[in-house]
Amino acid sequence: MLKNFKIILIPITVFFLFLFLTVEPVLAQGGEESAFRLERINALVFVLVFSAAVLLYTRWAKQGKTLFVRKIPGIDAVEEAVGRATEMGKPVLFIPGLQELDDIETIAAISILGRVAKITAQYETPLLVPVRYPLVLAAGQEVVEQAYTEMGKRDFYNRDIVRYVAGEQMAFTSTVNGMMMRERPAANIFMGAFFAEALLLAETGNAAGSIQIAGTARPEQLPFFIAACDYTLMGEELYAASSYLSKEPLMLGGLKGQDFIKVIIIILILIGVILVSFDVGDWYYKLFKMA
């Protein structure tokens, strides 16, 4: 682990050198406005505090401090669902959302896929991962192959586990719907960014009699997942899932850091409400201005 920190230090140095070189000529020009966006200093402070909190908790975790995280029912259900699929001898279907890899929700989904693939590898349960974008295909193949190799089940890996199905949203949906009715997966896991197809997929899966677990950060699709799935991870829980499933203390650090910031946010909002209510909060209100 120490080795890794050295790796990180080198680029930081390079980066700051680079930064210096680009800022310097601009400062020399002299100008009415500085090169740095001073008006965004609030965001910078916020990002730094946030990062510090996450890193601090991660460090404590590494030092062996036990970090408590409550049970999250939807995530616990993932393992159960794979177990049921194994008993029934039927596949598990995993859909990492319908966005490209340049959406953080998709990255969260890919990371959860890595954990799920380990479980299916362990039980030797067939896994099906249809994807809509080729970059997601590449990342998905990478994590699944890795998971199977790590569990010593390379023989069960085949690169068509993760397959590109169709580029267009509704073409993807119609193909996956057909897949659900024909292959009858025992469990469907939907994680990531979903749009109008959320209900189309979940309702078909329900008709096919599969156990369904969904997770998305998009509030507008959550009602439909809740109506048609057995378990739904809402918003933040999607991002928590990969840490939680990994069961590594290091990963839980991030979760604890988030919680710490959440408490701070609640306190800041309450202070704001009180100040604004008594009409003395103008300066405070402006501190949170997005520029």
Residues 177-236 that bind other proteins (CB under 8 A): 177-178, 181-182, 196, 199-200, 202-204, 206-207, 217, 219-220, 222-224, 226-228, 234-236
Q: Which is nearer to other proteins, 152 or 223 (CB)?
A: 223
Beta bridge partners of 94: 189
Q: CA-to-CA distance for 74 and 51, rounded, in angstroms?
A: 27
Mask: binding to other proteins, 70-89, rule CB under 8 A, as x and -? Answer: x-x-----------------
69 near other proteins, judged by CB under 8 A:
yes
Q: Which is nearer to other proteins, 84 or 218 (CB)?
A: 218
DSSP label of 103? S
59 near other proteins, judged by CB under 8 A:
no
56 near other proteins, judged by CB under 8 A:
no
Hey, what amino acid is at 67?
L
Sign of CA dihedral 75, 146, 177, 170: positive
Q: Which is nearer to other proteins, 65 or 285 (CB)?
A: 285
Hey, what amino acid is at 94?
F
Exposure on the CB side of residue 193, measured as CA atoms within 13 A = 14
CB of 223 to other proteins, least distance (A): 4
- Number of amino acids touching other proteins (CB under 8 A): 132
Sign of CA dihedral 225, 229, 235, 241: negative
CB of 187 to other proteins, least distance (A): 19
155 near other proteins, judged by CB under 8 A:
no
DSSP label of 190? E
Mask: binding to other proteins, 99-138, rule CB under 8 A, as x and -? Answer: -xxxxxx-xx-xx--xx--x--------------xxx-xx
Other CB atoms within 10 Å distance of the CB of residue 194: 28
Is the CB of residue 67 less than 8 Å from the CB of residue 61?
yes
